[in-house]
Amino acid sequence: MSKDPAFLFYDGDAARDVSHMNRLERGAYFDLIQAQRKFGGCTVEQIRKIFGKDFDEVWPAIELILYKTDLGIYFIEWVQISIENRKDYAEKQRKRIQDYWDKKKNEEDKKEEIIIPRNNHGITTVIPLVNENAIENENEIVVKKKGGTGGKRKTIFIPPELFEVEDYFFENGYTKDSANKFFKSYSVADWFDSRGNPVKNWKQKANMVWFKDDNKIRSNGTGTKQQFGNNSNSGVSDDYKRSILERLGVTGGSENMPGN
């Protein structure tokens, strides 16, 4: 699988990480985020190259918020959790699409098999027919027109995960509560709307029906969006965080925790 082009950026976690840093240290922190996105983690020597002549000045503040694996690889916890969460989601999506096509193929095979009599005492054999006019990929199926080029394109709807809906609502300024109501409303109906029509584009449905003033995020007076916990990945369970850290080689010893 190719590398995912993006991961979720939690500005709440980033704000907490840099709360004790000056401007130079904050710039170094975001340089480290880019490096972690590219390399997955860095040794002290690699971080020294990234920070250049500023290393000695910024390292004490940066080291305070970093985790370290048993192999001496440093990383920012929330960044790695976000990256791993995105990988897990991408794999689930890949599997869901593959399961869809496997089921589709099995249904087509059952419909298109024919029975050809053989000349040996009435014994028959089942021969499946191959549909050579179908071209499939992960997102759509194209059926060629007989005697011509082109094809009829059929788009397949893949339901979103709850965190996708929450993130989309947050990005557009709407509450987590409304995102959860949206998800529950359509998921229990197997992604059919109130009129019995299948949902073809859930983002369009959110924009047209759910993005109303009543569902907007209200500021607490300081600009912090409380509805989503200041946009933090703190909603990720401790067990999931622990599994990510173990996967990366952090055994849980205090010497590998931030500031040690």
Range of the domain at 179: 162-235
Going by C-alpha positions, the residue among 165, 189, 222 that lies closest to residue 8 is 165
User: Sorting pLDDT into bands at 50, 70 and 90, what band is 211?
Assistant: very high
Please name which of 1, 53, 3, 2 lies closest in space to residue 28, comparing C-alpha atoms. 53
The verdict on residue 29 lying in a domain is no
Let me know if residue 136 belongs to a domain.
no
Residue 208 counted as domain residue? yes
Q: Is residue 250 part of a domain?
A: no
pLDDT at residue 182, rounded to an integer: 93
Mean pLDDT throughout 59-83?
Answer: 90
In a domain, 4, yes or no: no
- Lowest average pLDDT, out of 86-95, 104-113, 221-230, 233-242, goes to 221-230
Residue 196 lies in a domain: yes
Domain assignment of residue 138, yes or no:
no
Q: What are phi and psi of 72, to 5 degrees?
A: 80, 20
What residues form DSSP beta bridges with 52? none
Domain contains 205: yes
How many domains, in total, are found in the chain? 1
Most confident option among 1-15, 46-60, 151-165, 242-256:
46-60
Stretch among 11-20, 45-54, 155-164, 194-203 having the lowest mean pLDDT: 155-164
Check whether 219 has a pLDDT greater than 70: no
CB atoms within 10 A of CB 88: 12
* Mean pLDDT within 89-111: 78
